[in-house]
Amino acid sequence: MLTTEHSESTEEFENNSLTDAIIGSAISVHRELGPGLLESVYEKCLAFELADRGLSVTTQQEIPVRYKNLTFDCGFRADL
């Protein structure tokens, strides 16, 4: 029988904790609200849930787009 040693670096552990918080928050919102609502409702509830778990959250963050020598300040908006 083979045995393997498993050790996680601090960075991997922090990433797992962050992943757990994000997925846990999404599951919590979905269980509470169920399907069928507008995306904006889920976004606000998920932002609340993430902040409640101690994460910093920004909603509707503008992401500039560069095209040739032009920059469009609001090419995209990230939901969270």
Q: How far apart (Å, rounded) are the C-alpha atoms in residues 67 and 62?
A: 16
3-class DSSP string for 16-27: HHHHHHHHHHHH
The pTM assigned to this predicted structure is: 0.73
pLDDT of residue 74: 75
pLDDT of residue 51: 98
- pLDDT tens over the chain, length 80 residues: 555 555 556 677 667 999 999 999 999 999 999 999 999 999 999 999 999 999 999 999 999 999 999 998 877 899 99
Number of H helices, E strands in the chain: 2, 2
Going through 1-80 in order, the beta strands assigned E by DSSP cover 61-67, 70-78
pLDDT of residue 54: 96
